[in-house]
Amino acid sequence: MAGKKRRQAVEFCRKAVDLEEYNPDIHWNLGRVLLASGRRREAHRVLRSGLRHEPNHAGLRRELRKMGLRKRPVVGLLPRSNPINVLLGKMRNGNGNGNGRG
Which CATH number fits the domain that encloses residue 46? 1.25.40.10
By C-alpha distance, which of 37, 34, 38, 36 is closest to 48?
Answer: 34
pLDDT tier for residue 97 given thresholds of 50, 70 and 90: low
Q: What is the pTM (predicted TM-score) of this model?
A: 0.68
Q: Which domain holds residue 22?
A: 5-67
Range in 5-19, 50-64, 85-99 with the lowest mean pLDDT: 85-99
Q: What is the mean pLDDT of residues 6-16?
A: 91
| Domain match, 55 and 13 both | yes
Number of domains in the chain: 2
By C-alpha distance, which of 31, 33, 45, 42 is closest to 8?
Answer: 33
